[in-house]
Amino acid sequence: MAKVSKAEMLTDVLKSIQASGWDAIVLNRSHPFRISMYRDDNRVIFLCYIWNLTHGGYPRDPNELRIQVTGVDRFTIESGSKTLVLGFSEDERMFAGFDVTKHRISMSGRSPSFQIRRETLQHAKKTEFYPQTRQNNEIAIAFLPEFFATYVNELEALHGSAQHPQDILAVTQIADTNTMNIQDIPAGPRRTVLEQIQRKVRDTRFRKNVLAAYGHRCAASDVQLDLLDAAHIIPIEHERGTDETKNGLCLSAIHHRAFDHGLLGIKRNYSIAFHDENFTKLRAIGWDGGENAFRESCRDAINLPSRREFYPDPDYLVFGQVLRGWNPRHLS
């Protein structure tokens, strides 16, 4: 199996953070890497221990992959930050995450290895992430690069599911189907955490599906430049909101904000409209700078997905934009 350097793995981590819709700054480039991951007003700082994920060689189980922990006497756990212990497979383009709280002992004088099953990675390729129970009541998580930010944000909850068999089952169900059976999980913090994981997983899959449907190109402006969001047409918080791809639009960050603020509209025939009344209000308070450039950045009609089944639903468009202050007659 191919091995890559620590510098190359750091590059893969940063690309994975971007692929999952976040940005990052490297605060320390020596191993373990210290990284600040951020999006909007959210920020997470973490230490990243990472090694190549490889097979240990004969006579080891051919279905077992592992990291060999070298160059570290003890994992650092700091207040106010998270600690990741990762393996990276260059061949599979996959990560494996291990629970640092299960490995707090000093490793001076030895180089332990942490294992994960090859089929766990293969399953994660289909579902974006997948849990595996290990010895010492530990949950290891295999995941795709697009899941990286979700893994970091839900680190404690994902690994902490090992404390309750019902929670392990629920996390497995979320990985497989986005749904979970919570009947055996009492209302309270445990259920809330699992519901948060489910929401993050749905967000991750929605973004991946929408950006892929539009060929990673802004529907309103043709912009790519790794500046894209997956926008819900009917907000997911609304009772009619769904994670269907046809309830999504691939928009650059500025066009996403304009859509949500009711400046940019999309008619039933997919032509682009501008809410003149809202622009007039902005002119009245002197906040209209860049209006002409913004209008010129937009196409006459949006780009559409290559598959018709993923076209924005016209009824969703009207309903979602009425929620944003549009008159439905202006969208016909």
pLDDT on residue 106: 64
- 148 shares its domain with 220: no
- 128 shares its domain with 261: no
Domains of the chain: total: 2
Does residue 270 lie in a domain region?
Answer: yes
Between these two residues, 23 and 192, which has the higher pLDDT value? Answer: 23
- 22 shares its domain with 139: yes
- 231 shares its domain with 141: no
Exposed, middle or buried by CB within 10 Å (0-12, 13-18, 19+), for 256?
Answer: buried
With a cut of 60, say whether residue 58 has pLDDT above it: no
Does residue 48 lie in a domain region?
Answer: yes
- 218 shares its domain with 111: no
- 15 shares its domain with 148: yes
Q: pLDDT tier at 12 (50, 70, 90 boundaries)?
A: very high
Please report, for residues 22, 61, 85, 94, 291, the alpha-carbon distance to residue 16 in angstroms, rounded to integers and kept in the order given: 9, 29, 16, 10, 34
Does residue 286 lie in a domain region?
Answer: yes
Does residue 294 lie in a domain region?
Answer: yes
Torsions phi, psi for 292 (to 5 deg): -65, -45
- 46 shares its domain with 142: yes
Share of the chain above pLDDT 90, in %: 53
With a cut of 90, say whether residue 224 has pLDDT above it: no
- 122 shares its domain with 235: no
- 225 shares its domain with 149: no
The predicted-structure confidence for 272-316, as pLDDT tens digits, reads as follows: 999 999 999 999 999 988 889 999 999 999 999 999 999 999 999
pLDDT on residue 267: 95
Does residue 146 lie in a domain region?
Answer: yes
Average pLDDT, the chain: 88
What average pLDDT does the segment 176-204 reach? 75
State the pTM of this model. Answer: 0.77
Q: Are residues 96 and 65 in contact, defined by beta-carbon separation less than 8 angstroms?
A: yes
What domain range includes position 35?
Answer: 6-153
Residues 6+ apart with CB under 8 A from 228: 211, 216, 217, 218, 250, 251, 252, 253
Residues 6+ apart with CB under 8 A from 239: none
Measured between alpha carbons, how far is 3 from 150 in angstroms, rounded to an integer?
25
What average pLDDT does the segment 35-54 reach? 94
- 223 shares its domain with 147: no
Q: Which of 153, 179, 194 is the last residue of a domain?
A: 153
Q: pLDDT tier at 160 (50, 70, 90 boundaries)?
A: confident
Does residue 166 lie in a domain region?
Answer: no
pLDDT on residue 143: 93
The predicted-structure confidence for 236-252, as pLDDT tens digits, reads as follows: 889 898 889 999 999 99
What average pLDDT does the segment 147-174 reach? 82
- 23 shares its domain with 131: yes
- 142 shares its domain with 35: yes
Does residue 208 lie in a domain region?
Answer: no
pLDDT on residue 75: 92
Q: Which of 112, 135, 153 is the last residue of a domain?
A: 153
Q: Which of 153, 180, 201 is the last residue of a domain?
A: 153
Q: pLDDT tier at 168 (50, 70, 90 boundaries)?
A: confident
Does residue 200 lie in a domain region?
Answer: no
What average pLDDT does the segment 219-230 reach? 89
